[in-house]
Structure 1
């Protein structure tokens, strides 16, 4: 990996990314929209964090903060021990190499008038010292095409000559061109057919193993998140409502909102039959301009009591069998293992 700006000696066992209490709002007065409200996340080196939630929950805003495209109103972001929002000039440019993006639409994110080689090498126009010399760049493009499962002969083809899955592989190769430590994937397979989704997910998983890259993987597709993620963070109206190891969150969700999401996922027992009875949430997601008092999920939660309207819920933490990071839920009445509110 290409080294970034020097931090104060972060240890290998410290998280690559730490977000604490991040808040981000847009507008003012009655038209003030709080997209993120006290968000905490942590991403270990070489791991994948899945970020899930309904549209409007703040996933994309959080992604923009992680990429340095939005400055948080409050809270801290630490990347490898460094505050990226305190960097300027060459230090900031060096940091930007370390955080890259794979976009949702593999066609819209690629310039149709550029060849695959030009698209993959596009980041080097800004970061000229990463791969100096035309010969070195051509070699590196061939290596990147091979890494994502494309042929070296594809270098001079244009986006309209590729399938959707192949175009997304080009997008992945472009994201890897600067040897990043962290790649933010924003719904990277949602525009692809199911069979192609599996191929692209396998490419991402293989690259993580081979290169040690870290992912923040944003998706509304729970089966995709479960396939690729080590840990899962569930968001609702700008808040993190549950976080834990992937299997624990899927098998024993603690927040009623997570329980409802998991019940809707098409998971089958080996012998047939649905794993859970689907839980139908009542009502619509409240407007982010008029967030409910207390627990913001209470207007849709059958377990809600008067306390839920008057008090913000605490973080309920449960230890894990392996002694790792606790499984947490933002709820007055978190579900116990094996229970349900359906």
Structure 2
């Protein structure tokens, strides 16, 4: 435990302080909020790489999970309904009144976490979710550790334990743009970013962005991103399948470069899928961002997993420990 203390930077609606801790080293400068365990700032050699808000109160009401840990179940659950061990559960339908998205209207991303450990290169935050919170069964204790572990590398370790069978699917929802100007605003379009995702399959979705249940090959489709592909104006908000198991250690799940930037981002993770979202709806947040001005790569379980018997399970039982590891690795390369 370090003598360094997080500093108050704002106030939650209930009057509790929003705290911020900072990590520095290996070319990175990172600011983490207690609110949502948010990555508020991530600079590489002094240059911003992620969308972040100067006013921490924006994270309470406005940001679309910007930089936050989302859960208890990231992504969508169709109709906000699932059945677990024969018992049906109803969750808030916080996406246009149709589906449950990112854990609900509050979810983990708008809760005030507690700094459990703070050091110069790592912090651990904790959050206790009560039984029934946002409709989920079981009390859940979650932790999130951010650590600078090597040159240009920020590693996130997420864990959870429960006292009753429940769903758990946690991820980080940071928006990346490798062409942000000093200060991070305004954010240019991501059209000239180039992405590669080493997935041989993806999950087709219906008009409500709910998986159909099919696990489809990417070959011969626009979803074949196994080779570096300019994003352009194609629309992406889809899960790419990396396997069926959660691994012990992370492997590369996506790589991003951009014309005009000498920084490349590699995302590594242990999860069986990664959601690639192109920021289409960013303008709706009312924060001055244009649509498609940043992208997300969200390692996670399969969306709507509890409603598809053929998908890997996202159920956590008492006595088990949920664990997910995500790493963001920034490397210098010749400007494109």
TM over 0.5: no
Instruction: Give the greater-gyration-radius structure (CA).
Output: 1
Structure with more of its chain in strand, by fraction: 2
TM-score range, shorter chain: under 0.3
**Structure holding more helix per residue:** 1
